Amino acid sequence: LGLSGPPGAGKSTFIECFGKMLTERKHKVSVLAVDPSSSTSGGSLLGDKTRMTELSRDMNAYIRPSPTSGTLGGVTRTTNEAILLCEGGGYDVVLVETVGVGQSEFAVADMVDMFILLLPPAGGDELQGIKRGIIEMADMVVINKADGDLVVPARRIQAEYISAMKLLRRRSKVWRPKV
């Protein structure tokens, strides 16, 4: 599964919760977390693993943070090979967290079985803020953080995306993207 979304959408938190649920169901989970690299120093914080503390201690999970090192598309130059290595190593679920949302951060969509776009429920004009290209590539849109005071905005943004996705050409004849 490939996961992308804007900063603050809760990608790492979602992956930790989802990953723990999968390991409790006896799956072996690998997380390939991609972080942006500095154009100045070339370095990267690689902080996603530190936000998945419980999953990082789980013996049935493996978390590998990697810098983009200047590669565009939201993944690294070797993400596809890393997915294959994880599968070969016995991990039956591989989650790839991209650097985040932009106009072209969906290269992962061609590497995975399902591409999921995570969105927060209240971030302003969401349909204008997210580029059409990434929406067209999404197999599923997940409105995250839909609790408490954010239930009503989450329902509204869900309805907006359902309507918007009806206008897009589907990538598959057998799967209609879900929101």
Q: Kindly tell me if the per-residue pLDDT of 43 is higher than 60.
A: no
The position carrying tokens 């998945």 is: 52
At residue 93, the 3 state secondary structure works out as strand
Q: Structural domain tally of the chain?
A: 1
Q: What is the length of the chain?
A: 179
Which amino acid, 45?
L
Whether 174 is covered by a domain: the verdict is no
Residue 44's pLDDT is what?
Answer: 47
Q: Determine the pLDDT at residue 37.
A: 57
**Domain membership flag for residue 20:** yes
**What are the pLDDT digits (tens) for 2-41?**
998 888 888 999 999 999 999 999 999 999 988 765 555 5
| CATH code for the domain in which residue 103 is found | 3.40.50.300
Q: How far apart are the first and last CA of the chain?
A: 16
pLDDT tens digit sequence for 66-109 = 876 665 556 677 888 999 999 999 999 999 988 766 545 567 78
Residue type, 171: R
- Asked if the structure places residue 147 within a domain, the reply is yes
Structure tokens at 121: 């429920």
Residue with tokens 């995250």, as numbered in its chain? 144
Residue 109 in domain:
yes
Residue 135 falls inside a structural domain: yes
Whether 90 maps to a domain, the answer reads yes
Contact 95, 30 (CB under 8 A): yes
Q: Is residue 143 part of a domain?
A: yes
What φ, ψ does residue 147 adopt, rounded to 5°?
Answer: -145, 170
Q: What's the domain range around 93?
A: 2-167
Contacts of 149 (CB under 8 A, 6+ apart): none
Q: Which of 57-61, 91-95, 131-135 shows the lowest per-residue confidence on average (mean pLDDT)?
A: 131-135
Residue 179 within a domain: no
